[in-house]
Every structure is written in C-alpha cells, then in structure tokens.
Amino acid sequence: MHRDIRDVLVVGGGDVGMLTALSLRKVDEDLRIRIVDDFDSPPPRVGKSTYLAIMPLLHGFLEIEEKSFVQEVKPVWKGSIWFRNWVGQPDFHYPFDDGFPAFEEADRHELLHSIYREPRMTTSIGEEIVEQRKAAWNYNPRGGGFQRYQEVAYHLPIDRFRAFLKDRCEQHGIDLIDDRIEGATVDNHRVESVNAAGRSYEADLYIDASGFGRVVRGEFSELEFTNFDLPLDRAVRTARDRDLKDVIPATIVEGRDDGWCWTIDTYDIRDRGFVYASEFTDDETAAKRLLSEVEGDLTREELDFYRFRSGFVDEPWVENHVTIGNAAGFVEPLQSTALTTNLRFAKFLAYMLNTTGYRLDQKPRSTYNRFFRTSWNNIYSFISIHYKFNDLDTPFWNRVRSVELPPLAAELCRIYDEHGLSHYENPKAAMRSDENGSVLTGSPFGKEDFFHMLTYMGVDSAYHESLEDNISPSVMERRRELQTDREARVADFHDYVEFYNVMGGEGTVSEMG
C-alpha cells in the first residue's frame, strides 16, 4: 500500500519531543524517526508536574515498566493540587480520585447536599496521601507485595526524566542528532527542510516540538493563532535542595495579590515559582515576590524567568508538518496540563497516522486538528473558572474576574446553579448544545472536575440554596466513619524515606505490583 510518510524528523529533544517519538515508535517499528536538538543545552526547568492521565499513558500506552521507571527517575506521587489562600476561600484540595462515598440511592440526594454545605468534612484517599505526607504505596504480602494507589499523578525530576527518555529512545532505534536548528525552508505551507549551520535535514513529516521558540512553525506567520483572554504571561522560578523526609506530595498553589505561587517537590528538590501578568507586575517586582517566598539566602541570579503566550495554533497539523508541545498551545501552569496533554496529542497523532496508512491527506489532518482544538478549549474552560469567581479587590484579580467565561464554562456554571451536585443523576442537567457536550467527551476535564472547583471555591448554587438544611444524622455519621476509614488506610502507606529505602534493597523490587 502506498504511504507518504516513512521518515519523521522531530525538531526539539525535550520531554515532549522524545515522548512524541516514542509514541510513533510504539505503533510502527519500521518508521524512521530522528530527533534533532542541541542536547548539550540545559532544558527549561519547568513542566515537572502532571495530572492523572500520565499514569496510563506512560505505563499503559508506552508500556514503560513501572519498576524500572521508579528506580531510574525517582518520582514523587502527586495526590492533589492543594489550593491555599485561593480566591479568599479556606484551603482545599483538587484530588484525582472521587471523594464521594458510596451511599444507598435513598440517601444520595442528602449526601450531595451535605457535600455542598460542608465539602471539607470528608477527604479522598488522594487528599489523605497529601495530608499524611505519604508515598502512594503500601506493602500487602497477601496481595502480591507492593501495591500502588491508582488515582495519583507524578512530579518528575527533569534531569532524571530526560535521561530516562533519551535512553529509551536509543533502545527503540530513534536517532538522536546533536545539532542546533536555526530555521526551516518552506514553500506554500509545506516544509522543504530544516536547517542548521552548514547542514539541512529533510523528511516526509516534520514535527515541531521546539517549545515557545517555534523554530519551524514560526516560519508560517500567516497561520492563525487563538489567544486566550487571561492576562497571565510570565513566570519566575527557582529551586532549593530538600530532604526526602520533607516531601509534600501535592502541587501547592497559593494565591497572591498579583498572581499565584507554586511549590513542587521532586525527589530531592523543592521547586518554587510565581506566575504573573506583565500588565500589572514587572520582572523586578516578581523577582522580589519570589525571593520573599523562599527560605534561605537567594539572589536574583538564581532565578529563571519565562515568558509565554496563552493560546493555541488553530491548525497544528498543516500539510507535512505538525506542531506539538508548547510550540502548539499553552494556557498557564495552574492545573499542570502541559506534559500530560501533549503526550495525549502524541498518542492520538501516532494512531491517526497508523490507522490512515501514513498518508498526508486532509481527513486525518482535520480529525487531529479538531481533537487538538477541543482539548485546549476544554482546558481553558476549566482554568477560567479558577479565576472568575473571586471577590478580591486588586488590579490583577479585578482583571481576571472581568474575563468572559468561554461557552463550555458558562454552560457548566448554569447547570451547577440550576441543578447543583444533583447533576450526577439528574437527566434534566444536560448540555444545551451538542457543541458544548463534545468539548467534554474524551477531554481532560469533565463535569465533576468543574463542579468540584465551583463547590470548594464557595460558588453559590441556587438549587442548593433553595433546599432546607435538614440533613439526616445518619448521613453525617456515615461521612465521619468514611473519613476515619480513609485516614486509617493511608496511615499504612509508606512515607518516602521508607519507600525509597526499600526500593534500594536486594530482592524487593520484583514484588512491586
């Protein structure tokens, strides 16, 4: 059968570039795949946090053995995003598991109303992992040895993760070419070659994974870009050494008057950052903000500054080139979407090429581009509600509150207001348009994610406010019992020192399930 694509060139050897190459190799052992990058240049020191889908993508789709991954990369298992001082509300978690207890149908309505009234009364297993500072592992000799709690994500140390991916690329016959790409030769929306000093590279399909530099995509200034309306466009970060015993297994997000700060713990590093809008905060002020947040002596020279454009390219796959990673789209780092989302795109691209016979036809391009746009609109909709509902009176928070919600977010806020948490079982709580519903199908964030954030941010639901607060004592007692059970279960998990000490022992790794 005729195929147009036998040779793929990936421009950019960062995490996304290598994960894209590994995704292509997963579905085709014969495809020629090369990655070209200046591999001696230090990678950006951001992008270490992920969300839930990273686990099945890495260990399911890519079939990366979890035992060797843990040994070589030494990840931290992330139980939640922990919001502190966010929009004036008490601290809360956004976990990756469902904290709703299993109730009899007769009590379900009361349960949902009690969660609306007292959402922090019951935590999920993921939240307890954070609160008790545990790794997501316990040892059960009757259950096959080490067992991991499934509903967690990763914090990944950049250098170890990158070294791991390079090793896997080489094992799978992916050529790593150490060169600095300076641009591309293009003609009528097609790429003819990508060019380094004194050398050019040609391929059937080019993939631009060069980050915000957009080395290939930048040659096509006429191609459209959709801008998101949130004003955040800058970040500054630094890192400090940290003892393993002090790991906090959550991405911490802390609101500030002019933006927000993050804390991300990896195996031996605590990464701190501040995200802000240049419209209100200059780099010097941002540097002072971050320096005041970090313990110990630190100078401005130890800070890294990043600029980003919030939005996405309208068509990432054009003719014979695909744009992926930060070169293709980015909102801001609040929900740790970048790495995991782009691995989703890489998987979809690999299957799309394979199932359509590696043809450079319009149909696979249109299908991929639609999936890409749907995903980013879903992510932006979810991020937007984090900012919309605040009563804070600062220039930054006034500005983000004024941003109009995208259609999907507005529709879900309507359902939350009219039906509350009963949407889970109420057939009347449906989308008013198929277009909005499609932005949820197969996308990173569903109704339950939106409603969790709205509830914990203290957003009123007219439906719940109209109900009497006559919640039966049995429902509240069941929630208290559930909380006690979850606390006891997580207490049996290993802490990080225990877990990694065991991982270093002889004859124990094979017992990891």
Ordered per-residue pLDDT tens for the chain, 513 residues: 578 999 999 999 999 999 999 999 999 999 999 999 999 888 777 768 999 999 999 999 999 999 999 999 999 999 999 999 999 999 999 999 976 666 555 578 888 999 999 999 999 999 999 999 999 998 877 767 789 999 999 999 999 999 999 999 999 999 999 999 999 999 999 999 999 987 999 999 999 999 999 999 999 988 899 999 999 999 999 999 999 999 999 999 999 999 999 999 999 999 999 999 999 999 999 999 999 999 877 888 889 999 999 999 999 999 999 999 999 999 998 888 899 999 999 999 999 999 999 999 999 999 999 999 999 999 999 999 999 999 999 999 999 999 999 999 999 999 999 999 986 555 455 556 555 555 666 688 988 899 999 999 999 999 999 998 889 999 999 899 999 999 999 999 999 999 999 875 433 443 444
Q: At what angle do helices 473-491 and 105-117 cross, to 10 degrees?
A: 80
Per-residue pLDDT, 401? 97
The C-alpha atoms of residue 127 and residue 122 are separated, in whole angstroms, by 10
CB 232 within 8 A of CB 33: no
| Of residues 180, 130, 172, the one with CA closest to residue 151 | 130
Per-residue pLDDT, 513? 40
Alpha-carbon dihedral angle through residues 182, 186, 192, 194, given to the nearest 10 degrees: 10
Per-residue pLDDT, 299? 85
Q: Which residues of 80-94 are buried (b: 16+ CB within 10 A; e: fewer)?
A: bbbbeebbebeebbb
Per-residue pLDDT, 510? 36
The token pair at 386 is 């984090």
Per-residue pLDDT, 156? 96
Per-residue pLDDT, 506? 37
